[in-house]
Amino acid sequence: MIAGLLGKKLGMTQIFSKEGGLIPVTLLQAGPCDLLQIKTNENDGYSALQLGFDERKKKRSSKAEIGHCSKVKTGVKRLIREFRTDTIGEEYKQGQALTVAVFDDVKSIDVTGTSKGKGFAGAMKRWGFRGGPATHGCTTPRSAGSVGAGTSPGHVHKGKKMAGRMGGKRITVKNLNVIKVDTDRNLLVVKGAVPGPNGGYIIIRKSRSEL
């Protein structure tokens, strides 16, 4: 059984529960994904299903990408990823389209995306530092403070929380509750936030408890 799908973050909204409580939710487009290749232990050394999502113009693709996708008579895909699996059932065939229906009986999912890049940020914004005293005479209210002694160890330890590039990293949010599955429009409604901007590509997997 396939463990997940590729998709796109559409945006956030809110719904109300039967008791009248407000629930913040994120809308995810999950599929349809074309099954580009089936990898087996005999041929490739491992077992996996390779999926492609969202078509791209041929003039912006390489000959290798065009040839790979043409084997299953589909357009060139923008996002191609593999999902490892122990066993591949006979219900999977190269070229078939996988839809959000694979999440019909799933209660929680893990979503992987790339967080928004915020450029070079100071220590207070990047790490949530309190900063120095905002009083008369303080010249460094937003400084990170001391980063180490000069005599011993004589250098700054690796991993020290300092100013630097913020965001733009691969992040996985686990155990998001599935509120609704819309098979007609390939939509997933999940409770909570998902990393990345609206329109950003994501990888949707079933939570470990669902496997």
Q: What is the CATH number of the domain that holds 20?
A: 2.40.30.10
- State residue 211's pLDDT score: 65
- Domain annotation covers residue 108: yes
155 domain-assigned: no
Q: Is 47 within a domain? A: yes
The CATH number of the domain holding residue 71 is 3.30.160.810
Residues 175 and 76 in one domain: no
> Strand ranges (DSSP E) for the chain?
4-16, 22-30, 33-39, 48-55, 77-84, 97-98, 108-114, 119-121, 164-166, 170-182, 187-191, 201-206
**Residue 122 sits in the same domain as residue 193:** yes
User: Considering the entire predicted model, what is its pTM?
Assistant: 0.84
Is 183 in the same domain as 82?
no
Domain count, the chain: 2
Q: For residues 84 and 179, state if they share a domain.
A: no
Is residue 25 located within the same domain as residue 2?
yes
Query: Of 71, 38, 36, 68, nearest to 52 (Cα)?
Result: 36
Model confidence pLDDT, tens digit, residues 135-183: 888 888 898 888 888 888 889 999 999 999 999 999 999 999 999 999 8
Residue 156 domain-assigned (yes or no): no
Question: Is 73 found in the same domain as 172?
Answer: no
58 with 79, same domain? yes
Domain span at 107: 1-31+103-129+162-211
Same domain as 183, residue 107? yes
In a domain, 118, yes or no: yes
Domain assignment of residue 60, yes or no: yes
The confidence band for 26, taking pLDDT boundaries of 50, 70 and 90, is very high
What is the C-alpha radius of gyration for the chain, rounded to an integer number of angstroms?
A: 23
83 and 123: one domain?
no
Provide the pLDDT for residue 175. 93
Q: Are 37 and 88 a contacting pair, CB within 8 Å?
A: no
Q: Are residues 86 and 112 in the same domain?
A: no
Look at residue 157 and give its three-state secondary structure: coil
Query: What secondary structure letter does DSSP report for 60?
Result: G
Q: Are 115 and 20 members of one domain?
A: yes
